[in-house]
Amino acid sequence: MKILLMILISFTTLYAQDVKEELRALKNSSELLDHRLDVLEKKIDDVIWFQRVGDVAFIDKVFLTGPPLWKEKNPTGQGAGNPVKFWSYIFIPKGIDYSKKYPVIVFPHGGVHANFSTYYTHIIRELIYQKYIVVAAEYRGSTGYGKSFYEKIDYGGLEIEDVNASRQFVLENYDFADKDRVGIIGWSHGGLIALMNVFEHPENYKVCFAGVPVSDLIARMGYKDDSYRALYSADYHIGQTADENVNEYRRRSPAWNAEKLKTPLLIHTNTNDEDVNVLEVEHLIKSLKAAGKKFEYEIFKDMPGGHSFDRLDTKEARRIRIKIYGFLDKYLDPPVKIKSLEDINKAAYLP
């Protein structure tokens, strides 16, 4: 009986191990399928970019490099220490005079893992209407480029340098891009990247707009659920929770770097934001004030759209974007100004 029991236990253990291995294999297969679908979706969205913006802009995707990985799986392996390669969108207004200089907007996308999609169509058309050259980096961790690139994510870390590298690429490769008129804008995680860029490279940017910016990762880890926190503590990312390494999360948070601000800045937030709780942005605002920094901000009260309130195509959202463009105008002086809803409608619908 004892021998039979031992055999049964051994069989059960082996069976459980087999089940775990099969479940792990199924999970890996599912993840690979998800990434392949992301790649397909990205290729389709690239075609849509040409359909929606190609009448007013030359559109290109350029391949460039940022710094090496923050963490190497095998620091002594082949290729370790090589720069990270990534794609970046370039939008150039049609009909500009190439003998002149034009202002540049650096435009990082949002999302923990996301990409620069046609969600931003009308904003791109509005920027092109003003004769801005726009560069939008698909920085490390962006979706649509496979599992390996997805796992290169460095939220609040070297993705900031990828975005700054995209700025440098434009200035080095297009003689009509004005190095003295470069601004950066972004919403949500893109707002965090915009802020951290002007904190780390103030000499590179004349102005910054940060909409509903992720501002305090420590606070964020407190009010988000486990599945969200796992995106950061994954072994290929930070690899630790905020509880295990609070200083690492602090290093990546604009609210804890506010003393570095030297660039003209406008911040927008919304009290009913369902993604970036207003308390994060309030912390950023208080930190900037405590550091004696000059900047502008507006806290909107329960604006329809929540997190996306000023990126919608409603009249009110477009009125708010007119304010944003007016702020940028003061420092970048684009050849064409958007000052009214009539102007913004022209940007949206006229070639």
* pLDDT of 199 above 90: yes
Q: Would you give the DSSP letter of residue 306?
A: G
Q: Please, what is the end-to-end C-alpha distance for the chain in angstroms?
A: 85
Average the pLDDT over each of 15-19, 44-48, 241-245, 278-282 and give the range with the smallest value.
15-19
Residue 137 half-sphere exposure toward CB, CA atoms < 13 A? 31
Does residue 313 or residue 17 have the better pLDDT? 313
Query: Are 83 and 63 within 8 A, CB to CB?
Result: no
Instruction: Work out the mean pLDDT of the chain and round it to a whole number.
Output: 94
What are the tokens at 64?
């460039």
The per-residue pLDDT for 18 is: 62
Q: Please report which confidence band the pLDDT of residue 10 belongs to, taking 50, 70 and 90 as the band edges.
A: low
- Residues 80, 75: Cα–Cα separation, whole Å: 5
Degrees (nearest 5) of the Cα angle 297, 275, 41? 115
The per-residue pLDDT for 33 is: 80
Phi, psi of 93 (to 5 degrees): -60, 135
* pLDDT of 19 above 90: no
The per-residue pLDDT for 29 is: 65
Average pLDDT over residues 116-121: 97
The per-residue pLDDT for 26 is: 58
- Residues 301, 289: Cα–Cα separation, whole Å: 21
The per-residue pLDDT for 72 is: 87
* pLDDT of 208 above 60: yes
pLDDT in tens, 126-147: 999 999 999 999 999 999 999 9
The per-residue pLDDT for 63 is: 98
The per-residue pLDDT for 225 is: 96
pLDDT in tens, 250-309: 999 999 999 999 999 999 999 999 999 999 999 999 999 999 999 999 999 999 999 999
The per-residue pLDDT for 73 is: 85
Sheet holding 177-187, edge to edge: 57-66, 84-93, 133-138, 102-106, 177-187, 207-211, 265-270, 296-300
pLDDT in tens, 232-256: 999 999 999 999 999 999 999 999 9
Region of residue 333 (phi > 0: left; psi between -120 and 50: alpha; otherwise: beta): left
Q: Please report which confidence band the pLDDT of residue 213 belongs to, taking 50, 70 and 90 as the band edges.
A: very high
Cβ contacts of residue 208 below 8 Å, gap of 6+? 183, 184, 185, 194, 195, 197, 198, 263, 264, 265, 266
User: In the chain, what are the helix, strand and coil shares in percent, each to the nearest 5?
Assistant: 50, 15, 35
Q: Is 290 exposed, middle or buried, given 0-12, 13-18 or 19+ CB atoms closer than 10 A?
A: exposed
Average pLDDT over residues 171-178: 98
The per-residue pLDDT for 9 is: 58
